[in-house]
């Protein structure tokens, strides 16, 4: 795949993604990048074609007719790893339904009970223990392993259809090793589907771990009992009670047995809990997001790392590392002390007071130096996240109870939510913003290097105001994300592409473009540009603020601070809150509004049975938005083209 990108220095860059099977011939590089040293788009296009043809000619010398004549171990390993990864993703999706969908779990349990009652697995022909041929939702188990073909036969089919090796390539010891590993992958998937059918969910988790490790080692196919020896202590304890030979399903078998007093848990260090918790949660995140670089990995793990540090800080404040000795009163005292915990103790201006001192002394130090303390909402998060970790530890039988449970009550959360909630802009605020010279005179800032206008200063606030999109959703838009969907002009919001992301699965959506934006000239902004080019190419990415950082800084300097809006709890996010508040006040179509703004449906019925609203309905709702006379003075963007 070829990309041409105009860099900030005015020069074009050629990028070519190397197919997986050829990467070992390019020093395992993921892509080729080359600055073309031309400023004309036509010249860049011609130079890019030359480079692409040269790369393809070189790759054609490696393979003939798409059949590899020598065994390509790197290609084989990547293909097997892809099969394993796909299998893990399907296992994850099924297990997510088991955890989150009570009806689905009940259906699986009933299917298990019914099959056991009519003869069990012996009454079914083939590899599996449930007959799902006439099932509904349970047929998603076919995605884990689709049919009754054995692992060896499935591996043969895969090699013939997907691994294009001729006879000489297969006449290799390395091929035999990798072929047997492929058999192991398919056998794991068979075992995973069986374990799900038998409702042995701890076993499923261990099989997923084995699959993830399979492409990294040459180990034999382990049974669950064998793998227990290498699994973490908590998983081994869980599994010992749940992996006996399958019995007829009954209430007793499905009910967790109470912990006996003779099995009372002795001292457990919080660091041991945090280490195990971190390992499991990061593994789950790696399966879900598959980070490809250290930067992506840092972003994916950011929240879990923050949670672990907060829990560690709470235990430093309590002064007790043994979690079995922490009482509920300790937790309540910790919450009160957290209200005095310093904010940003490691910042450049504060670290000389705190960085070399243990955390348990930070509150006392801050009582003397008088730095700002953390917000109440943050203090509550320290305790609620400690409760989450303890809940996990209780589930994994590492501790008997959770002393943090309900220390932070709904009353606390409601009070803090009301205090910290962002406020919509008033009509007066909006008129002040959109009467700025950027909008009424088209006096935009200029990139000092390229001398190009900073188009985001004009368009981003308008798009946010007239669509309710989140700030980073606006900032990461690409030219190709403005398109026709079912003949309606829309913004396409998704996390596809380098460094793009969405907040939740509900954030992936189409948002019809308000007619006012079209009248102001939005579509002309895309003319003659590459689909994969950022709509606002002057917005750069950082790990902390993604593409939103420059826009936020400019809006704060230009509007929020001069207009004293921050004192009224108004920020750039207030554009979104203004949009949402209009529909709360003027519409009863809450389900459609949720889809428009990327929220989860409000009711369980809508979540389970509600489909996507018709795009025409969304268009009708977007056109309902009444901006009054707020935009009367805003000039169409291309009114003064000489300024470009």
Mean pLDDT of 37-45: 78
For 240-244, 377-381, 428-432, 609-613, which range has the lowest pLDDT when averaged over its residues? 240-244
Question: 294 vs 192, 431, 472, 494, 584, CA distance in Å?
Answer: 30, 44, 21, 22, 42
CB atoms within 10 A of CB 498: 10
How far apart, in whole angstroms, are the C-alpha atoms of residue 82 and residue 74? 12
Counted residue by residue, the chain has a size of 644
pLDDT of residue 338: 82
pLDDT at 234 over 80: no
The model's pTM: 0.43
How far apart, in whole angstroms, are the C-alpha atoms of residue 28 and residue 18? 9
Closest residue by Cα to residue 201 from 232, 220, 224, 176? 224
Contact 510, 491 (CB under 8 A): yes
For 346-360, 387-401, 411-425, which range has the lowest pLDDT when averaged over its residues? 411-425
- Collapsing DSSP states into helix, strand and coil, what is residue 135? coil
Sign, CA dihedral 318-321-322-323, equals: positive
pLDDT at 433 over 90: yes
pLDDT in tens, 174-192: 777 788 888 988 999 999 9
Delineate the domains of the chain, giving CATH numbers in brackets: 2-60 (no CATH), 73-242 (no CATH), 270-339+374-420 (1.10.150), 427-643 (1.10.443)
pLDDT at 26 over 80: no
pLDDT of residue 247: 38
How far apart, in whole angstroms, are the C-alpha atoms of residue 218 and residue 181? 8
pLDDT of residue 240: 41
Sign, CA dihedral 564-567-568-569, equals: positive
How far apart, in whole angstroms, are the C-alpha atoms of residue 443 and residue 101? 53
Q: How does 504-526 read in b/e, with b if 16+ C-beta sit within 10 Å? A: eeebebbbbbbebbeebebeebb
Question: 111 vs 105, 128, 139, 404, CA distance in Å?
Answer: 10, 13, 12, 38
pLDDT tier, 228 (very low <50, low <70, confident <90, very high otherwise): very low
- Collapsing DSSP states into helix, strand and coil, what is residue 174? helix
Could you tell me where the DSSP H helices lie in 101-172? 102-117, 151-162, 167-170
Mean pLDDT of 543-551: 82
Top pLDDT among 468 and 410 is at 468
Beta bridge partners of 453: 446
CB atoms within 10 A of CB 578: 23
State the DSSP code for 322: B
Q: What angle do CA 378, 380, 386 make, to 5 degrees?
A: 105
pLDDT of residue 147: 79
Question: 385 vs 323, 337, 407, CA distance in Å?
Answer: 15, 16, 11
pLDDT of residue 117: 85
State the DSSP code for 556: I
Contacts of 243 (CB under 8 A, 6+ apart): 200, 202, 203, 224, 225
How far apart, in whole angstroms, are the C-alpha atoms of residue 84 and residue 78? 10
pLDDT tier, 27 (very low <50, low <70, confident <90, very high otherwise): low
**Percent of the chain at pLDDT exceeding 90:** 22
Mean pLDDT of 601-611: 45
How far apart, in whole angstroms, are the C-alpha atoms of residue 644 and residue 640? 8
- Mean pLDDT (the chain, rounded): 78
pLDDT of residue 245: 34
pLDDT at 249 over 90: no
How far apart, in whole angstroms, are the C-alpha atoms of residue 520 and residue 434? 13
pLDDT at 221 over 70: no
Closest residue by Cα to residue 556 from 546, 570, 543? 570
Contact 498, 533 (CB under 8 A): no
Mean pLDDT of 198-203: 87
pLDDT tier, 2 (very low <50, low <70, confident <90, very high otherwise): low
Tokens matching residue 220: 């034999």
pLDDT tier, 576 (very low <50, low <70, confident <90, very high otherwise): very high
pLDDT tier, 75 (very low <50, low <70, confident <90, very high otherwise): low
User: Can you give the C-alpha Rg of the chain in angstroms?
Assistant: 29
CB atoms within 10 A of CB 333: 13
Q: What angle do CA 236, 239, 245 make, to 5 degrees?
A: 140
pLDDT of residue 226: 46
Closest residue by Cα to residue 468 from 585, 575, 626? 575
How far apart, in whole angstroms, are the C-alpha atoms of residue 113 and residue 549? 55
For 203-217, 302-316, 458-472, 553-567, which range has the lowest pLDDT when averaged over its residues? 203-217
State the DSSP code for 559: I
State the DSSP code for 244: S
CA 322 distance to own-chain centroid: 33
pLDDT of residue 74: 61
Q: Which element (helix H / strand E) includes 352?
A: helix 351-354
pLDDT tier, 362 (very low <50, low <70, confident <90, very high otherwise): confident
State the DSSP code for 533: S
**Candidate ranges 196-200, 242-246, 447-451; pick with highest mean pLDDT:** 196-200
pLDDT at 319 over 80: yes
Contact 452, 459 (CB under 8 A): no
pLDDT at 104 over 60: yes
Mean pLDDT of 134-163: 84
Top pLDDT among 446 and 354 is at 446
pLDDT of residue 493: 92
Contact 94, 144 (CB under 8 A): yes
pLDDT tier, 337 (very low <50, low <70, confident <90, very high otherwise): confident
Q: Which element (helix H / strand E) includes 354?
A: helix 351-354
**What percentage of the chain's residues is helix, strand, coil (to nearest 5)?**
55, 5, 35
Contact 388, 314 (CB under 8 A): no
Question: 22 vs 19, 72, 255, 583, CA distance in Å?
Answer: 6, 9, 52, 53
pLDDT at 514 over 90: yes
Contact 91, 98 (CB under 8 A): no
Closest residue by Cα to residue 113 from 254, 257, 243? 254
């Amino acid at each position: 795949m070829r990309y041409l990108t105009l860099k900030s220095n005015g020069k074009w860059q050629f990028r070519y993604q190397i197919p997986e099977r050829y990467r070992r011939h390019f020093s395992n590089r993921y892509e080729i990048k080359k600055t073309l040293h031309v400023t004309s788009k036509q010249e860049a296009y011609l130079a890019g074609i030359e480079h692409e043809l040269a790369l393809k000619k070189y790759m054609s010398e490696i393979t003939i007719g798409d059949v590899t004549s020598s065994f390509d171990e790197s290609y084989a390993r990547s293909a097997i790893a892809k099969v394993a990864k796909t299998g893990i993703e399907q296992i994850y999706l099924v297990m997510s339904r088991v955890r989150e969908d009570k009806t689905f779990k009940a259906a699986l349990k009933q299917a298990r009970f019914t099959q056991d009652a009519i003869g069990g697995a012996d009454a079914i022909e083939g590899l599996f223990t449930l007959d799902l041929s006439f099932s509904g939702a349970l047929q998603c188990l076919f995605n884990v392993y689709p049919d009754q073909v054995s692992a060896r036969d499935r591996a043969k089919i895969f090699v013939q259809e997907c691994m294009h090796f001729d006879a000489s390539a297969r006449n290799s010891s390395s091929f035999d090793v990798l072929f047997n590993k492929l058999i192991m992958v398919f056998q794991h998937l068979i075992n995973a589907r069986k374990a799900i059918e038998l409702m042995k969910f701890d076993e499923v988790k261990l099989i997923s771990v084995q699959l993830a490790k399979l492409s990294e080692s040459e180990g034999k196919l382990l049974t669950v009992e064998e793998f227990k020896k290498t699994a973490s202590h908590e998983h081994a304890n869980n599994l010992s009670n749940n992996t006996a030979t399958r019995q007829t399903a009954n209430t007793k078998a499905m009910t967790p047995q109470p912990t006996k007093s003779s099995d009372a848990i002795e001292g457990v260090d919080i660091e041991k809990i945090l280490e195990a918790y971190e390992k499991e949660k990061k593994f789950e995140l790696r399966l879900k997001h598959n980070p490809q670089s250290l930067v992506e990995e840092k972003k994916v793990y950011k929240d879990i790392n923050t949670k672990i540090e907060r829990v560690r800080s709470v235990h430093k404040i309590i002064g007790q590392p043994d979690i079995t000795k922490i009482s509920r009163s300790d937790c309540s005292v910790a919450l009160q002390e957290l209200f005095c915990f310093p904010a940003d103790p490691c910042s450049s201006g504060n670290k000389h007071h705190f960085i070399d001192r243990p955390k348990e002394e930070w509150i006392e130090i801050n009582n003397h130096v008088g730095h700002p303390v953390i917000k109440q909402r943050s203090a509550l998060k320290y305790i609620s996240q400690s409760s989450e970790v303890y809940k996990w530890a209780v589930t994994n039988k590492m501790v008997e109870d959770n002393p943090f449970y309900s220390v932070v009550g709904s009353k606390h959360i409601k009070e803090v939510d009301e205090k910290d909630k962002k406020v919509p802009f008033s009509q007066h605020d909006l008129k002040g913003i959109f009467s700025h010279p950027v909008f009424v005179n088209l006096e935009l800032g200029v990139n000092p290097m390229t001398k190009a206008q900073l188009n985001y200063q004009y368009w981003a606030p308008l798009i946010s105001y007239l669509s309710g999109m989140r700030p980073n959703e606006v900032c990461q838009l690409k030219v190709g994300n403005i398109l026709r969907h079912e003949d309606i002009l829309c913004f396409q919001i998704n996390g596809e592409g380098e460094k793009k992301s969405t907040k939740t699965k509900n954030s992936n959506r189409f948002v019809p473009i308000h007619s006012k934006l079209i009248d102001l000239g939005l579509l002309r902004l895309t003319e003659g540009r590459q689909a994969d080019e950022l709509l606002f190419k002057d917005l750069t990415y950082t790990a902390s603020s993604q593409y939103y950082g420059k826009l936020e800084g400019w809006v704060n300097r230009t509007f929020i601070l001069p207009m004293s809006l921050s004192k009224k709890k108004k920020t750039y996010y207030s554009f979104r809150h203004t949009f949402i508040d209009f529909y709360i006040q003027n519409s009863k179509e809450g389900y459609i509004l949720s889809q428009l703004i990327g929220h989860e449906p409000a009711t369980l019925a809508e979540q389970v049975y509600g489909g996507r609203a018709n795009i025409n309905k969304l268009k009708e709702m977007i056109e309902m938005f009444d901006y009054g006379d707020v935009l009367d003075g805003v000039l169409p963007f291309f009114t003064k083209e000489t300024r470009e």
